[in-house]
A and B are shown apart, each in its own frame.
Chain A
Amino acid sequence: MPTTRADQHRFRLPTLTGALRLLPWLVVGLLIFAAIAAPLIAPYDPIKNVGSPMLAPFSPGHPFGTDGFGRDQFSRILHGLGPMMFVSVGAVALAVAVGGAVGLISGVMGGWLDWMIMRAVDILMSFPLILAAILVLVALGASTFNLMLAVAISQIPIFARLTRALAAGEVVRDYVMAARASGFGMLHVMVSEVAPNILRPLLVQATSVVAVAALTAAALSYLGMGARPPEPDLGYMVKEGQELIFIAPEQTILPGLVIAIFVLAISFCGDQLNEREGG
């Protein structure tokens, strides 16, 4: 009968898929560890020519070979992880903070203010995002921090709209009505009543957006608008390596692969959080 099949299911799935479900978290953990420990575990200085020939092939001394300046590619990729995470996580955090605040005000206050804010968000959304980011980077100059800012700015309208939708859903609930009826001010309603209740779904969404932010940042670096050389930056390494595809294709393939692995792991983590939130 069906019960036995369901029991079998329950018995088998947790072990197999459970392990698989753990994998993305492990990968993210490993990458974070590698990023933090990069100065300790990287065999060489990522910026200095290590006295090896340019474009040396893979070897035990240089697991990923050397780049066009004779720098150790493995060390450069390790040191490039930190900036990638700083930019993508930092940008989303900033976008959640600013977009969240704007969306919260819009959703809770309602009325003409809500209408104005949402129309402003509509206008910003119709502005090509990558162009907005490029304008910011050209104005501020290329650096890792400015790259983070540029990506954040391009994500703010998305979070404003999302937060507004979540907040508007909460405002009509009984507990908010009760709070307002008991004479609490709007600020109190926003910060103490609505915000805590929408924080969870917002953060779950934010996890998924980290993946998008990492890709956007990498694309801007590829266009030469991110980190300033010789600082290691994975997107810029793809750009630097691409003219060498005849000679040393790994120069462009490896850094891109690392970006893809990070984004993949983050996306799976975000999915799992989403599923738990939804179900």
Chain B
Amino acid sequence: MGGEVFRRLIFLPVTLFFVATLVFLALRALPGSSIELLGSQFTTAGLKEQLIADLGLDKSIWEQYGIFLGELVRFDLGRSFLTGKDVSSMVGETLPVTIELAVASLVVMTIAGIGMGLLAGAFPGTLADGLLRTVSVLLFSLPWFWFGIVLIIVFVLWLGWFPAFGRLPSSVDYEAVTNFVLIDAIILGRFDLVVPWLKHVTLPALTVGLTTSGVLMRLTRVGVIETAKTDYIRTARMKGVPGPRVFFRHILRNVALGILTVIGVQFGAMLGGSVIAEVVFGYPGIGRMTVDAVLNRDYAVAQGGAIVIAAFYVLINLATDLSYRWADPRLRRGGR
């Protein structure tokens, strides 16, 4: 097991190298550069050339690639052409936002998915089961961006229960430390941040969490039904162990592994895939930053964003596999 982890950790830089190369080349293949955006009208002869030289875009593509890789191995993601800011600090600002949103969405997904799955699995073949299964497919079928807008119409416009955008109301003064609002609330002792933050994160988390809950619902449902058929549950029932206890002690424990995997996979997918929710709800996350950078040809930012998202994806998958092995006694004992 240690060997496997080691092999995959070794492979991480290789993956990142390829992702970095891919995005580097893809960006340069796109028409245009940020020069045109930077100075829309050049009235002095030679100014455009000066800007190009300032940004290092006069060097050959391989020279630029060499510089880029050289910086990358020193964990330097470079500087934004358009904003002059350090890409690392931009990632530091946007990544926590995306992780925060992904975690909140995972909470919604897990509660909704497991809740519906347990309920449906407990009464297989009934009307309730059919209904829940339909609902789970329905939720999956809703386009995120559209579902987000509908939630805004209903819960913001009509009911006024939630704010429509952002992470905190404008009345709150708050100087970010980690940029994770909840962690900052603890560090700074600012517990007044918690409720407003929850209100702001609810709609985006519902949008992403509910639409992704279907897989988990099915998995839980099938798991419950399958486990209920197994010998030891039957034995437990025959021994007279009360229903709910069997349910939670045995069934849930067996389903937990699959659930863990789904959560891990979804977490990885949400980091890159939450762009849409970030756009609809004005959440300043890393996905949005990266897409905007592509559209503005802000090479360093787009590269940095893609590399960081990919790194997290790989690490989360690794962590998922590890926790899977750790949680599954059969795998821990080296298989049975």
Contacts and interface: CB of A to CB of B under 8 A. Distances in A.
- Chains A and B share a contact (CB less than 8 Å): yes
Interface of A: 17, 20, 119, 122-123, 125-131, 134-135, 138-139, 211, 215, 218-219, 222-223, 235, 238-239, 242, 245-246, 249, 252-253, 256-257, 259-261, 263-264, 267-268, 271
B201 interface: no
B141 A267 contact: yes
A164 B67 CA distance: 38
A127 B22 contact: yes
A273 B282 CA distance: 39
A21 to B, nearest CB: 11
Interface stretch (B74-82, B150-158, B180-188): B150-158
23 contacts: A122-B11, A122-B15, A123-B18, A128-B273, A128-B287, A128-B310, A129-B273, A130-B291, A131-B272, A139-B30, A219-B145, A222-B146, A235-B143, A238-B143, A238-B149, A245-B153, A260-B141, A263-B140, A263-B143, A264-B137, A264-B141, A267-B140, A268-B137
Contacts, number: 127
Contact of B150 (A123, A128, A218, A256): A256
Given A130-B273, A131-B290, A123 B145 contact: no
* Interface SS of A by simple majority: helix
B136 to A, nearest CB: 10
B17 to A, nearest CB: 9
B35 to A, nearest CB: 17
Contacts of B150: 253, 256
Contacts of A256: 142-143, 145-147, 149-150
Closest 5 CB pairs of A and B: A128-B272, A256-B146, A264-B141, A263-B141, A126-B310
Nearest to B18: A123
B279 to A, nearest CB: 7
Contacts of A249: 153
A126 B273 contact: no
A177 B147 CA distance: 51
- Interface range for B: 35 or more
Interface in B310-328: 310, 313-314
A91 B61 CA distance: 33
Which of A130, A218, A271 is most buried by chain B, counting CB atoms within 10 A of its CB? A130
A131 B304 CA distance: 13
Nearest to B310: A126
B22 A134 contact: no
B306 A119 contact: no
Interface string B1-24: 000000000010011001100110
Given A127-B22, A260-B142, 15 more contacts: A119-B11, A123-B19, A126-B314, A128-B309, A130-B276, A135-B294, A139-B26, A211-B141, A218-B145, A219-B143, A239-B145, A245-B157, A246-B157, A263-B143, A268-B137
B310 A127 contact: yes
Contacts of A264: 137-138, 141
Interface of B: 11, 14-15, 18-19, 22-23, 26-27, 29-31, 130, 137-138, 140-147, 149-150, 152-153, 157, 271-273, 275-276, 279, 287, 290-291, 294-295, 306, 309-310, 313-314
Contacts of A138: 30, 294-295
A256 to B, nearest CB: 3
A239 B146 CA distance: 9
Contacts of B275: 130-131, 223
Nearest to B134: A268
Contacts of A246: 157
Contacts of B143: 215, 218-219, 222, 235, 238, 256, 259-260, 263
B38 to A, nearest CB: 19
A244 B149 CA distance: 11
A41 B210 CA distance: 36
Contacts of A134: 291, 294
A129 B142 CA distance: 19
Contacts of A253: 146, 150, 153
Given A119-B11, A131-B291, A222 B145 contact: yes
A138 B27 CA distance: 10
B141 A131 contact: no
A8 to B, nearest CB: 13
Nearest to A13: B125
A129 B146 contact: no
Nearest to B269: A129
Contacts of A259: 143, 146
A156 to B, nearest CB: 14
B290 A139 contact: no
Nearest to A235: B143
A249 B138 CA distance: 21
B146 A126 contact: no
Nearest to B150: A253
Contact of A126 (B15, B138, B152, B294): B15
Nearest to B27: A135
A222 B144 CA distance: 10
Contacts of A129: 272-273
Given A134-B291, A218-B143, A252-B149, A267 B137 contact: yes
A271 B291 contact: no
Given A130-B272, A264-B137, A252 B294 contact: no
